[in-house]
Amino acid sequence: SLTLKEALENVIPQKRNTVKELKSTYGGTVVGPITISSVLGGMRGNQSMFWQGTSLDPEHGIRFQDLTIEQCQKRLPNTGVDGDNFLPESMLWLLMTGSVPTFEQTGSLRRELAIRGRKLPHYTEKVLLSLPKDMHPMTQLAIGLASMNKGSIFAKNYQKGLIGKNDFWKDTLEDSLNLIASLPLLTGRIYSNITNEGHPLGEYSEHVDWCTNICSLLGMTNGRSSSNTCNLNSQQSLDFINLMRLYTGIHVDHEGGNVSAHTTHLVGSALSDPYLSYSSGIMGLAGPLHGLAAQEVVRFLIEMNSNISSTEQEEEIKNYLWKVLNSNRVIPGYGHAVLRKPDPRFTAMLEFAQKRPTEFKDDENVLLMQKLSEIAPKVLLEHGKSKNPFPNVDSASGILFYHYGIRELLFFTVIFGCSRAIGPLTQLVWDRILGLPIERPKSLNFEGLQALTNND
């Protein structure tokens, strides 16, 4: 069966032709208006970038190469033995090639990544070990990734003038696969830094899937010896691995305009290699308006639980929510800039919990998360401001990680960063396949804007 690179090679000529034709025949076609509101409003609604792979629909939510999450769950291969969720490896294949991989193709990509990721470069190990153990985990991840630029095949061959523009994508693909493959060890190293004085919490194996390695290196498959009290039994370890597969499979990207994906694309457009490009994306993901929402939700749930007598007390919960709204604060985990329905990624995470009632029956935070998803939309509707009163993607994920023992809230975003690599790096490969140029939007100053208003 075909490797990922061979499968990709098969679809390239047709896509290159399409782009050529679009540019030569329809280059002057107007896409849409750009208003002063969008210039001063974070470019909301501007359709001004090319992005393949994921799209966002206000009613149906995210689509991965046109498949909904539900369809992905039905059609993308899992391990075949120990999983109720598809492997992120199969999502990577889908995004890269546009086709659902076979079971064998998923298996071969799984093995390829596991082999590529078996060792971190010695300089990256050294850099990470030298960092203050209490440094923000996302700073550690960005530094680790940036340090790997030393081994970038793209950067090296570009500098030597060894590759022509048409082939840039090949080394970009190599680097991107190496980067994605390195994330279990990087993540494990960072987690051991912040929880275990840098001592490893688990082992890497070339024979398991990407998420099993992530979980193993977080110390979630063999009990933990560190200060953390987590001791999972084997069913819980397996469930945690499946949670990781689910989470990292559906957080890969949404439409490219988000800060981490767009930053990766922007920095990559200067032909920076994938390590530098994605390290920049990680810096953006660390921002409180982007990747940190999941931890806000966890704080909110814990705080609310300490203020209500029980999750059964609907009136108390309602009153608590009104108190938050009346003090001009938002209900974290609710609302969305584009979506106008409950986020299907939230629904998928909720279903994970619902499928395991015994596991969660005594976890007040998870119970509250479930209860809130029924109560908060009613309160937000009555409040009448939010255009979307439903739970978003961040409503459930953090509290599920917390349940299994990941208590370091800042670390959630590192796990997010593992998943997010898959979408933007796929796009980076396609940017190079299609020869997309350096990004250079034109800006306007006060005088420029005022001149436009005079024309109105």
- So which residues are the catalytic ones? 290, 336, 394
259 interacts with ligand AMX by CB under 6 A: no
Give the Cβ contact number of residue 134 at 10 Å: 8
Total interface residues for ligand AMX by CB under 6 A: 17
336 interacts with ligand AMX by CB under 6 A: yes
133 interacts with ligand AMX by CB under 6 A: no
Pick the piece of the chain touching ligand AMX (CB under 6 A) from 96-104, 181-189, 328-336, 412-420: 328-336
If you ran DSSP here, which 8-state letter would residue 395 be given? G
Site residues (CB under 6 A) for ligand AMX, limited to 337-366: 337
Give the Cα separation of 375 and 409 in Å (integer).
25
CB 190 within 8 A of CB 144: yes
Beta bridge partners, 391, equal: 334
Closest approach of ligand AMX to the CB of residue 135, in Å: 24
Give the Cβ contact number of residue 259 at 10 Å: 17
Identify which of 72, 153, 164 has the alpha carbon closest to the alpha carbon of residue 116: 153
CB 221 within 8 A of CB 215: yes
- Which of residues 256, 257, 281, 333 is near ligand AMX by CB under 6 A? 333
CB nearer to ligand AMX: give 329 or 355. 329
CB nearer to ligand AMX: give 288 or 357. 288
Q: Could you tell me the CA-to-CA distances from 239 to 207, 359, 377 in Å, in that order?
A: 19, 10, 29
Closest approach of ligand AMX to the CB of residue 324, in Å: 8
Q: Could you tell me the CA-to-CA distances from 293 to 29, 256, 282, 285, 397 in Å, in that order?
A: 38, 18, 15, 10, 10
Give every CB contact of residue 261 below 8 A, 6+ residues apart in sequence. 51, 253, 254, 255, 281, 420, 423, 424, 427
Write the interaction track for ligand AMX spanning residues 372-411; mark x where CB under 6 A is met and - where it is not. -------------xxxx---xxx-----------------
Give the Cα separation of 279 and 267 in Å (integer).
10
CB nearer to ligand AMX: give 126 or 385. 385
CB nearer to ligand AMX: give 208 or 369. 369
Pick the piece of the chain touching ligand AMX (CB under 6 A) from 271-279, 303-311, 327-335, 347-355: 327-335
Count, in order, helices (H) and strands (E) of the chain.
22, 2
Pick the piece of the chain touching ligand AMX (CB under 6 A) from 334-342, 358-366, 404-412, 428-436: 334-342
Q: Could you tell me the CA-to-CA distances from 311 to 305, 306, 316, 365 in Å, in that order?
A: 8, 11, 9, 9
Site residues (CB under 6 A) for ligand AMX, limited to 281-300: 293
Residue type, 405: G
Beta bridge partners, 334, equal: 391
CB nearer to ligand AMX: give 392 or 426. 392
For 299, the token pair is: 């704080």
CB nearer to ligand AMX: give 273 or 394. 394
- Which of residues 83, 332, 342, 417 is near ligand AMX by CB under 6 A? 332
330 interacts with ligand AMX by CB under 6 A: yes
Q: Could you tell me the CA-to-CA distances from 206 to 110, 148, 209, 403 in Å, in that order?
A: 9, 21, 8, 28
Pick the piece of the chain touching ligand AMX (CB under 6 A) from 3-11, 236-244, 308-316, 324-332: 324-332
Closest approach of ligand AMX to the CB of residue 58, in Å: 11
93 interacts with ligand AMX by CB under 6 A: no
CB 188 within 8 A of CB 217: yes
- Which of residues 64, 93, 300, 334 is near ligand AMX by CB under 6 A? 334
- Which of residues 77, 184, 281, 335 is near ligand AMX by CB under 6 A? 335
Pick the piece of the chain touching ligand AMX (CB under 6 A) from 64-72, 86-94, 113-121, 332-340: 332-340
Contact residues toward ligand AMX (CB under 6 A) are 293, 325, 330-337, 385-388, 392-394
